[in-house]
Amino acid sequence: MTIKEIARLAGVSSAAVSRYLNGGYVSEEKKEKIREIIEKTGYRPSIQARNLRTRQTRLVGVVVPKISSETISRVTDGIGKILQEKGYQMLLATTDNNPEKELEYMELFENYPVDGVILIATILTRKHRKHIRETKIPIVVIGQHLEGENCVYHDDYGAAKEMGIYVGKSGKQKIAYIGVTREDKAVGTGREDGFLSGLAKCGMKMKDGLRKEAKFTMESGYEKAFELLRDNSDIDIISCATDTIAAGALEAIQKDFPERKGSIQITGFGDNQFLKAVTGGIPTVHFGYKTSGVKGAELLIDIIENGQDISVQMKLGYEIKNLQSEKKRE
Amino acid sequence: MTIKEIARLAGVSSAAVSRYLNGGYVSEEKKEKIREIIEKTGYRPSIQARNLRTRQTRLVGVVVPKISSETISRVTDGIGKILQEKGYQMLLATTDNNPEKELEYMELFENYPVDGVILIATILTRKHRKHIRETKIPIVVIGQHLEGENCVYHDDYGAAKEMGIYVGKSGKQKIAYIGVTREDKAVGTGREDGFLSGLAKCGMKMKDGLRKEAKFTMESGYEKAFELLRDNSDIDIISCATDTIAAGALEAIQKDFPERKGSIQITGFGDNQFLKAVTGGIPTVHFGYKTSGVKGAELLIDIIENGQDISVQMKLGYEIKNLQSEKKRE
DNA sequence: TTGTACGCGTTATCAG
DNA sequence: CTGATAACGCGTACAA
């Protein structure tokens, strides 16, 4: 069913139908006739052909590393809220943490096309930077700092440093850390360096062999924590780079070393609500994930609608949660 | 940069460039010339214009109610795996459990367009049925049974019945149930009716006032469980329609009624791995969510590529996990 | 107010 | 093997 057929059936020109659809001049009687035919045939204009013509889609593509993550769904919640308000729709693409797929989908979005792209980033390779620099549609990066490009990110280093200080002052002696790949500048490098810096400020250091690198999954957190606990009988505290990893660490204690349950503390990052609900809450960092989604979407739409003169980098704060003093209430 | 400009720069016709891009007849020297120009300009064909012409996109749209859900990410994992193998890309749209948005996105996908749509369904309204019946692109529904249409669903009733029997035989006397809206035929109606039927088979019944209806969130599960515990001092067991709700119930016990922790059991549905890790595992039902994604995607692609003669409805089995006998190990 | 005619960037056809 | 040229479905000057 095309606009031509509708025109023919209604006995008008396709231009008249187009005007009817887009609010141009059409006489009342033709309007009525067209309405009737459209109603009867269930005709829908091809968005595709329209976009080819108008060069805008009111669509935003969002590339995410995975969807089974509370963190990411908070960000996309924020994005979705703004897009909805502004009359845009959101298309999501997941990449399973596969950088190649990230590029693929960014290209798909670029010439499918959409009006803009938001990338929730983990690892930014040289190819990523090149693509972001050269792409013709607006791109906003969320979760990583990228100098010279539009991005909204969190103060991972600062938060981790404060967490390090908390741990350093807690009186615990044997401290372990489970991080993630340092290729991830925010979660890997930022949190690890910040944490160590915080410890150092209290005159504490981590011993060799007490630093592990996990993937972004609970299973991986479980494995690394298991190794730590198996090889070290006197660990006091395990700080984890994400709450998901921390959940794995909790599992390791509970399942394989239940006798040490009382003597080991776990800390995390991300303020995972699920974890908080079922455990009562471990010390963790609350980042404004929903806010970063909101800010990122607002920035993108502003660029789409008003063009861009200079790039914007936005850093968001944090809050440490469930520290000792708060836990007394229970 | 368009195909015409490339053609002009390479001194050939646009048709030759098109053939070069799609593997048709081009002489070696022209090939080389075209390759060079494309390389130099970074030209990418407009997928959009191509699709307008070819009427196929190798793209599948997936409409989901939310993304912050382990259940749904297991399904999309399965879908993504198959699509990847078959050379399709996947676009996701989330609707926040808003039926209107579901329709909106299904229409977007239909004429944006994509080659097929998968709907992970919760509530199927009359409008949904109408749309699914009348749409011109193949649609597969996952998670709900829909007679006469393509769907892959789980045996919610059967699983719930078995859970009901387990609870009925457990010796617990005062049984509560937190379900979800009966508009959701699978999770709402199927699980509740199955559960009650299982209880009945053991000669058990639920007392009035011990049945609550929650939303699909932990917060809602918390509230309903809190009300139950506050108003009834002798509840033995709370069976929940999802593990997410169950997590909320665990929170209510832990936070507000810690003294009753040992005397109340919680059961769920969904075999949430996160919950299992941090709690050791409550009795729950494992459905083949990843499998339903796989089967749904295979079915869809088969229809896209080979057309469809008759509709297919596929029911998947289940497995009850973490029953008493298994828990003894701890 | 209306309709004709053209262009958006491709691919497919067909004559050379 | 190659290159014009006609679609694909729509929006929009422009002329009527």
Quote the CA–CA distance of B139 and B159 in Å, as a whole number.
27
At the topology level of CATH, where does B3-45 sit?
Answer: 434 Repressor (Amino-terminal Domain) (1.10.260)
Q: Which residues touch strand C (CB under 7 A)?
A: A 12-16, 19, 24-27, 29-30, 49, 52-53; B 2-4, 14-15, 17-18, 21-22, 43-46, 49-50, 52-54
Is A3 (CB) below 7 Å from strand D? yes
CB A1 within 8 A of CB A43: yes
B103 to chain A, any CB pair closer than 8 A? The answer is no
The encoded tokens of residue A290 equal 């929903």
* Token pair of B163 as six digits: 């859970």
Interface subset of A 220-239, CB within 8 angstroms of B: 222
Contact (CB, 8 A) for A123 and B109: no
Tell me the pLDDT band of A328, cut-offs 50, 70 and 90: very low
High-pLDDT (> 70) share of chain A, %: 98
Which chain B residue is nearest to residue A329, measuring alpha carbons?
A: B255
The answer to whether the beta carbon of residue B47 comes closer than 7 angstroms to any atom of strand D is no
Using alpha carbons, list the distances in angstroms from residue A206 to A166, B38, B283: 14, 53, 40
Interface contact B21, partner A, CB < 8 A:
no
Q: Is there a common fold for B3-45 and B57-154+289-316?
A: no
**Cβ-defined contact of B92 to A89 (cutoff 8 Å):** no
CB pairs under 8 A between A and B: 131
The residue behind tokens 């960014």 is A106
Q: Tell me, in Å, how far CA of A13 is from C1' of D16?
A: 14
Is A81 within 7 A of strand D by CB distance?
Answer: no
Q: For B258, which residue in chain A has the nearest alpha carbon? A: A330
**C-alpha span between A169 and A163 (Å, rounded):** 10
A252 chain-B contacts, CB cut-off 8 A? none
pLDDT digits (tens, 9 = 90+) for A144-172: 999 999 999 999 999 999 999 999 999 88
Looking up tokens 């890790």, which residue turns up?
A: B277
Distance from the A194 Cα atom to the nearest Cα atom in chain B, whole angstroms: 27
For each of chain B's 330 residues, which pLDDT tens digit applies? 889 999 989 999 898 999 998 878 888 898 999 999 999 888 888 888 888 888 888 999 999 999 989 999 999 999 999 999 988 999 999 999 999 899 999 988 988 889 999 999 999 999 999 999 988 899 999 999 999 999 999 999 999 999 999 999 998 889 999 999 999 999 999 999 999 999 999 999 998 889 999 999 999 999 999 999 999 999 999 999 999 999 999 999 999 999 999 899 999 999 999 999 999 999 999 999 999 999 999 999 999 988 888 999 999 999 999 986 544 333
Strand D atom within 7 Å of B278 CB: no
The CATH architecture that domain A156-287 belongs to is 3-Layer(aba) Sandwich (3.40)
Residue A52 forms contact with B (CB below 8 Å): yes
3-state SS, A30-56, equals HHHHHHHHHHHHCCCCCHHHHHHHHCC
CATH 3.40.50.2300 fits B57-154+289-316, yes or no: yes
Chain B contact set for A277 (CB, 8 A)? 218, 222, 247-248, 250-251
**What does the alpha-carbon distance between residue A151 and residue A147 come to, in Å, rounded to a whole number?**
8
* Residue A121 to residue A154: CA distance in whole angstroms: 12
Using alpha carbons only, give the angle B13, B17, B18 rounded to the nearest 5 degrees. 110
The residues spanned by each domain of chain A are 3-45, 57-154+289-316, 156-287
CB of A313 within 8 Å of a chain B CB? The answer is no
